[in-house]
Every structure is written in structure tokens, then in C-alpha cells.
Amino acid sequence: MKERLVQLDVLRYNPDTDTEAHFQRYEVMCQEEWVVLDALNKVKESIDPTLNYRWSCHMAVCGSCGMMINGEPKLSCHTFLRDYPGVIRVEPLTHFPVERDLVTAPDDFMEKLKRVKPYVIAKQKKPIEEGEYKQTPAQLMKFRQYSMCINCMLCYAACPEYGLTPHFVGPAALTLAHRYNLDSRDEGRKERMEVVATKEGVWECTFVGACSEVCPAQVDPASALQQLKIVGSIDWIVEHLLPGGKP
């Protein structure tokens, strides 16, 4: 099996001892088909056990190993060393506060996710004897793509709007709002639009599209946000221009 000496420049930060973050160079022998996460694990096992980063599934499902690799938001378990011939720069996800080394605090995203109520809201719950909520394949296909989000926050790191305007609800949370709005079992669209159709919501988006470029699950958040803008605009017309529409 082909091996290669990989050089990693990893941004280190220890809140107990450092006043600011600094790069540390590691050199490890890696197999050619490894991913960046494998290289980090090798560093931790054989060179520096104090290196901190999050990971879990190693198969692009859990969404916990997001980091900046050569300046781009990536899942480190999904980023192959063979695509990076030179020194690989590894930094924590941008736009999020750094806790330690490559570990960032996701609190802001979690709070925003909660705000858009990403769950089915039914006005009346069906008694269990009536059986499950059924859905046709066509009804499922309306939102399926938007339900593939793994909450990895790469889209937040990629979004220049979120970087400039931290109160922006952001791509993943808005996409999940849209996903539940499109669900045939859901009746919570009105509640969600109170958050979505605000200035901090979808209207902060200027359709840069970076969210969709970095998404590792092909969710295409930019398309969800554009669709939300159309929904929000039609709601606005109904509320303000049609007789009987509520202000």
C-alpha cells in the first residue's frame, strides 16, 4: 500500500494557557487512500495526545467533524489526502467561537435550529388506534432532499452573510423550516413563517450560494431559501394587498 509523509498545519488554541491561536506543524506517515481525519487520529495516537477535535461516525453521517481544510469548510472524514498534495492547513470551522483547538461552540446554531421548530406540528394528534400518518411517495419527494441535512454547520461556515450578520438564522435552520413546511403531515407553517419571514430570517440571504457548494449531503440549502422567499412574498401579498388578508 502506498504511503506518504503528510504535513499538517493545525490551528491550536488552549484557553487555559494561550492568549491567541497559533499553527503547529505535524508530519505523519499516512496511507494514500486515507482522509484528513485519519491523519489527525494518527497525530493524536502517535505524536500529540493533547490535540482536540470532534468526530464520531467516520462516514459523513454524523456531521461532527466539520473543519476548515485549506480554507474551505469540509467534513474531515470525507476529505481525501490524495486531493491535497502539499501542506494541509486545518483550522476550526469559521464563524463559530473556538473552544479548544479544532472544537467550536455550536450553541448559536442550536438556538436558531430550535427557533424554527424543526418537527411536525399537528393541530390535533391522531389517537394511536387510528394508525400511522400515511404519506404518498410524491408527498415524500417534495421535502426528502431537505430532510437529508446532517447539521454539520459547514453551510454556516461558508455563508458570508452569517459571517457579517451573526443574527441571520442561516441556511441549515431555514432549510429545515422549509422541509417541515412542505411536509403533508405538518400544520405549523404559520408559526415557522413568523421566524422565517423576518429580516433576520430568509430576507438576510443574498443568494451567494456557497451553502449549497459546501453541503456534503447535497441538500442544496440555497434552493430552499429561494423557495422560502417566494412563499414569504406570496404571504406578504395575501396579508397586505388582498381584502380579508390578516396584517
Partner 1 sequence: MAKSHKPVVWFPFAAGGTVIAFCMPVIVVLGFLAALGHVPSGLSYESLHAFAAHGLGRLVLLGVIALSLWSSAHRLRCTCYDFGLRADTLIATMLYVAAIVGSAATAMFLFRI
236 binds partner 1, rule: CB under 8 A: yes
C-alpha distance across the termini of the chain, in Å: 67
Give the binding range for partner 1 (CB under 8 A) out of 1-9, 149-157, 183-191, 204-212. Answer: 204-212
| SS3 call for 63 | coil
With the CA atoms of 109, 156, 102 and 215 taken in that order, what torsion angle do they form, in degrees rounded to the nearest 10? 120
Inter-residue contact 35 to 55 (CB < 8 Å): no
Nearer to partner 1, 62 or 208 (CB): 208
Q: How far is CA 67 from the centre of its chain?
A: 11
Among 37, 193, 215, 224, binds partner 1 (CB under 8 A): 193
Rounded Cα distance between 22 and 39, Å, is 19
Among 113, 158, 197, 214, binds partner 1 (CB under 8 A): 197
228 binds partner 1, rule: CB under 8 A: no
* DSSP codes joined into one string, 28-61: EEEETT-BHHHHHHHHHHHT-TT-------SSSS
Nearer to partner 1, 24 or 198 (CB): 198
97 binds partner 1, rule: CB under 8 A: no
Q: Hey, how many other C-beta atoms are within 10 angstroms of the C-beta on 114? A: 10
198 binds partner 1, rule: CB under 8 A: yes
In the region spanning residues 103 to 162, those forming contacts with partner 1, defined by CB under 8 A, are: 160-161
Nearer to partner 1, 30 or 202 (CB): 202
Least distance CB 160 / partner 1 (angstroms) = 6
Least distance CB 202 / partner 1 (angstroms) = 8
Among 208, 209, 213, 223, binds partner 1 (CB under 8 A): 208
